[in-house]
Amino acid sequence: MSGAASVAASGRSLQAVTVLGATGSIGSSTLDVLARNSARYEVFALTANTRVEAMESLCRQHRPRFAVMQDEAAAEQLRARLADLPQTQVMQGVEGLCRVAGDAAADVVVAGIVGAAGLLPTLAAVDAGKRVLLANKEALVMTGDLLTSRAKAAGARLLPVDSEHNALFQCMPQTAEGTSLDGVSRLLLTASGGPFRGRTAAQLADVTPAQAVAHPNWSMGRKISVDSATLMNKGLELIEACFLFAVPASRIDVVVHPQSIIHSLVSYRDGSVLAQLGNPDMRTPIAHALAWPERIDAGVAPLDLFEVAQLNFERPDTVNFPCLRLAREAVDAGGTATAVLNAANEVAVAAFLDGNAGFMTIPATIEHCLGALPVRPADTLDAVLEADAQARECAAAFLA
């Protein structure tokens, strides 16, 4: 698909980039990398949910062709604020999000919306055959093979931005299509262990949202920060790895590595283990996925191993942190089970962040929904959306 085809001073045509979730943590890291590489990339479209002020300032800075607010009233306000910026057209709603994700003039789409809300725009980008930089792991966890097979059918290239999957991608055998499993025995997914590593379930019962979002190594949005604290983030990532690389969960080990310097490893049949290392900064995987197979500047400080000094490893604690076990059970069950796991988690995390549920209620809600709802084939979008809706109802009833 050919893009807006503006030409840089170098004579090379610019890649037009849509950033879904531009006001978030992934969005701001992406815009930083794009600004450092303005000879290669231009911002085509930016999207956000409700934060009008933040979006206005991003539009003034990056001058996109389109700005989309999911929320209609927010779009109205943004339109008024950007009256003096006629080159930026403001759109709204899920239709607007899908339109800029699938627009013929966009070359690259960064899927940086959080949660199930990212599913339809990500699918629109995939169906339009874009280079899709996948940060929104929930979309893949919900749809699994449906998303990867639609990407294949449309000729879209799915490049993982999640740091662990980006590391695995870099360490796996490279092919023209991406990666293969030739000679690979196991994937080793690293986990920081989150802010509550070493605590017991009893000690976790009354932790607060503020404590849960204070991640020791990464600065991220609130939802993924809570997921990191429960280890559900690693559970979602285990499922993400299964679908991205077509590997069964039984061939993936989770290794707790508190320093977050090794971002994941690939173990080969000859005994070799390849790892990708770097400072914990999302601009590295974003820059890698933007430019692959080339390399560009990311603004990330070089890794100083003398400063790091130690790399430690532990087994994950799935007794006090049941979410990782639940994720394995869901991916083994297959079908709509991973969509149910994801939806129940989203509802329970939102309740925890709002102060309406305890921390350990998160795994309890997910376990309840996985037990209560039937597993159906996840071979159509409707089947996935129905499982998602049922799980949200089931979780809300459990929490009430």
Footprint of Mg ion (CB under 5 A): 162-164
Which tokens go with 35? 């600004």
- For residue 89, the cross-strand partners are 66
Whether 68 contacts 79, CB under 8 Å: no
Question: What does 88 interact with, of ligand NAD, Mg ion, none (CB < 5 to 8 A by kind)?
Answer: none
Taking each helix axis from N to C end, the angle separating 52-62 and 25-36, rounded to the nearest 10 degrees, works out to: 10
Question: What does 144 interact with, of Mg ion, ligand NAD, none (CB < 5 to 8 A by kind)?
Answer: none
Measured between alpha carbons, how far is 325 from 28 in angstroms, rounded to an integer? 32
Q: Closer to Mg ion by CB, 42 or 164: give it.
A: 164
- Please report how close the Cβ of residue 16 comes to ligand NAD at its closest, in angstroms: 19
Q: Closer to ligand NAD by CB, 169 or 368: give it.
A: 169
Q: Closer to Mg ion by CB, 43 or 168: give it.
A: 168
- Please report how close the Cβ of residue 11 comes to ligand NAD at its closest, in angstroms: 34
- Please report how close the Cβ of residue 96 comes to ligand NAD at its closest, in angstroms: 10
Q: Closer to ligand NAD by CB, 26 or 124: give it.
A: 26
- The answer for 246, left when phi > 0, alpha when psi is -120 to 50, beta otherwise, is left
Question: What does 114 interact with, of Mg ion, ligand NAD, none (CB < 5 to 8 A by kind)?
Answer: ligand NAD
Query: DSSP readout, 322-370?
Result: THHHHHHHHHHH-TTHHHHHHHHHHHHHHHHHTTSS-TTHHHHHHHHHH
Question: What does 68 interact with, of Mg ion, ligand NAD, none (CB < 5 to 8 A by kind)?
Answer: none
- Please report how close the Cβ of residue 176 comes to ligand NAD at its closest, in angstroms: 26
Q: Closer to ligand NAD by CB, 112 or 235: give it.
A: 112
Return residues touching ligand NAD (CB under 6 A).
21-27, 48-49, 70, 112-114, 117, 135-138, 162, 218, 220-221, 224, 282
Question: What does 103 interact with, of ligand NAD, Mg ion, none (CB < 5 to 8 A by kind)?
Answer: none
Measured between alpha carbons, how far is 388 from 331 in angstroms, rounded to an integer? 15
- HSE-up of residue 174 (Cα within 13 Å, Cβ side): 9
| Cis preceding-peptide flag for 293 (omega within 30 of 0) | yes
